[in-house]
Structure 1
Amino acid sequence: MTDATALDLPGDDLFGPDNLPYGLYTTADAPDHPRIGVRYGDHVLDAGAAAAAFGSPHTALLQQPLLNPLMAAGRPVWQAVRAGLREWLTAARHRDTAARHLRPLEEVSLRLPFEVADYVDFYASEHHATNVGRIFRPDGEPLTPNWKHLPIGYHGRAGTVVASGTPVVRPVGQRKPPAEAAPLFGPSQRLDIEAEVGFVVGAPSAHGEPVGQGSLRDHVFGVCLLNDWSARDIQAWEYVPLGPFLGKSFATSVSAWVTPLEALDSARTAPPARDAPLLPYLDDGPDTGHEPGGLDIRITVRLNGATVAEPPFSAMYWTAAQQLAHMTVNGASLRTGDLFASGTVSGPEPDQYGCFLELTAGKGPYLADGDEVTLSAWAPGPQGSRIGLGEVTGRIDPARAI
């Protein structure tokens, strides 16, 4: 039994009562029995067992072996469950009962917390898109003509989204160095990261019915950090004319913790000023009635323990609400477990670039076998607190023989 003092968190803990992110975990005595957990400090609450102990009407949802049923239940249920969790963990009369269902984090193994339905990756940072455009098109305009009129994105591979801590095997494929007359085949020589923020869809939508910006809170369950691993040499050879394929599809890492969207209310901020007119479905100007769509999330990128960049999510040109609206404006439906990612987060300064392509101006070095990359982040919370997003870590394993 965990001592009730585990519930006494310092005010600056990133995973306090204003956060309460959801995850999925197993224990050594039940490795095939995943449970929904809620992170509280350096412990995890067995949400299903606690719900049963407190007589919650949502016990069945919290006793499922993954988050999807809870995510599908919709915003009123999300709010009620979150309010219950907060009360169980903070009310003095519940201390002993809540403590019985806490486990130290080091005693559990974390899993991918939800089953991914579809995966979409956007390209929403003007700084990133401009930097990349200058690298690949040094004699032309860095941004394509459509970039400031719509959130550019592509559909990725949902089946290779993996939880933080999963090793990333160096991909193999075709690449064509400029000096070569024909493409070569073998392990990627320009393996890169992309520091991103992911948005996890809970409530689905009907096929044929667009989802407007104002409905973001009704459909997005939560937020997680995301690393869109990228093989730049494979990508450069394949992406014309249809875009990313094998250079991206080998792995995408996400945090083992999903922070409720509601936990980031204090991090809301206006996006950067835009210098191109937007069509009505994407317009989020002050006269539209939409809440500020930006989020003040401070990301840190570490390579083998050393900080290499600190990208600011508040600098993103396109917001999650605009991405959701654009993704569904043609009638495409949302499914529970859909994951859409922001695209690489980059700021205006060189130490704010979110990938090694930018950090090295395309010259490298890129990732070597054995390298480990960790993304971490926090956002402003209520009354001066800070909300932590779960880390995303991945280590590069050598390519497999074919």
Structure 2
Amino acid sequence: MTEVVVLGAGYAGLRAIRELHGMPNVHLTLINRDPYHYEATALHTVAIGTNEPDHITFDIKQALPEDVTFTVATVTKIDVEAKTITLADQSQPLTYDYLITALGFESEDFGIKGADEYALPLENVKTAEAIRRHLEDRLAGYQETQDENDLHIIVCGAGFTSVELLGELVHRIPSLIEEYHLPAELIQITCLEAAPKVLPMFDQKLVDYAVQYLADHGAVIHTSTPIDEVTPTGVKSGDTTFNANTIIWTTGVRGSHVIADSGFQQKRNRVAVDPTLTLKDHPEVFIIGDVSAVPDPASGRFYPTTGQISIAQATHVAKNLRAQLDGNAMTPFTYKSLGTVCSLGPSVGIAELGDRGSMKLRGRKVSLLKKMVNDRTIMEESGVGNMLRHLS
């Protein structure tokens, strides 16, 4: 029996399991640190409180075929020479014949002073819940503290996740103002971005629409504003200090630290894989998702890590693993984006779809599109039952 181990039950890991299930003489084992899967693209909604954790999660065991072994454990090290995986709190390492590494991402602080200590990262369900508690506690406490910094919120970074989080925030703030009887004129929502523009993957007219929408609803984005230091009460950029008691960190992500801990050649815990998505000199090891760096043959640059490309990688890995078992040659991974959808809260967004983003959308119609994409992803990962539960 050939043992195939999949590390991580995110978009890439779950898709790999579903694509590989049913192969003769193959046993599948899935390792994940939590008993549940969460929709990483919806974490910002939990962080702001427009969504509940159980609406973006589902039980992994219930979503898997019965003959797949599922173990809740934390991976600490991968030894590709010995073909073993070390798990925390387990004395014996796990062995494999083929390995699919899809361990996911961690927040990247870029070594900025105070970021790890004072900013709130958005990495998983637990950190999303921590952001929500902190935000609500600060706003609720203003009547007692009369500290205006309790009414100031800073979002560090203006990438895709940051903009979606800002959209949820400006949507929810009016209800929080009413709930906690806050002075609306003292609320400040500030976003700091080192780059000269936001959302570089979108057409400039769509970016302008998004920035103007956020500005009209109270969020101010400062571009070309690199962060030098985070303090308990604000963020420093050059000679300017932005004061706030809620500082949310969404400047970027890196791959799982297990990659560096295992001695892989990496940059920001991402491994530059061969075109077949395998580790150099180890065709039995596939690396996909947030821990992989995959070059675009056309441009030579690495593809951005997204849920969409992670799913495509997993599908291709299943094809190449089947090829190896059948004694056939593997094929290089190619990717064509289906488009990009960015929400600006529950009811508004921007999108580019079609060949080279030929179809450009903005406004309320995008919110329905985003929901359709999320529902389809849930169905493909875990079946119709979970999708229907999320619809209710």
Superposition TM-score, scaled by structure 2 size? 0.27
Greater relative CO (CA pairs within 8 A, separation 6+): 1
Normalized per residue, the structure richer in helix is: 2
Superposition TM-score, scaled by structure 1 size? 0.27
